[in-house]
Amino acid sequence: MDGQQSERRTLRHHGGWLARHSALGVTTIRRAELTENETSLTAANDQAVRRALESAGVEFIDENGGGPGVRLRKRQQKKG
């Protein structure tokens, strides 16, 4: 399972949000969530989902020997 699929599974009940922020249809998002391994998304749609998740604070982690994954980006504290 890739990092994006893990994160999409986490956001499953927010398919409408992901559809709006990736400019994809809810049906496209739901269809991608149904698969266990490889998604049915085109490369362009996969990138749209990734950009939407990254804009929401999700970091995609490279394999680095332990497998790919995702985590929430640490919030930067405001100076002042």
For residue 13, the 8-state DSSP code is G
Q: Which parts of the chain fold into alpha helices (H)?
A: 3-10, 15-22, 26-34, 43-55
For residue 2, the 8-state DSSP code is -
pLDDT per residue as tens digits for the range 35-64: 777 777 899 999 999 999 999 898 888 887
**Structure tokens given for 71:** 């985590």
Does residue 22 register a pLDDT over 60? yes
Distance CA 26, CA 19 (A): 5
Q: Give me the pLDDT at residue 44, please.
A: 96
Judged on CB neighbours under 10 Å (0-12, 13-18, 19+), 50 is middle
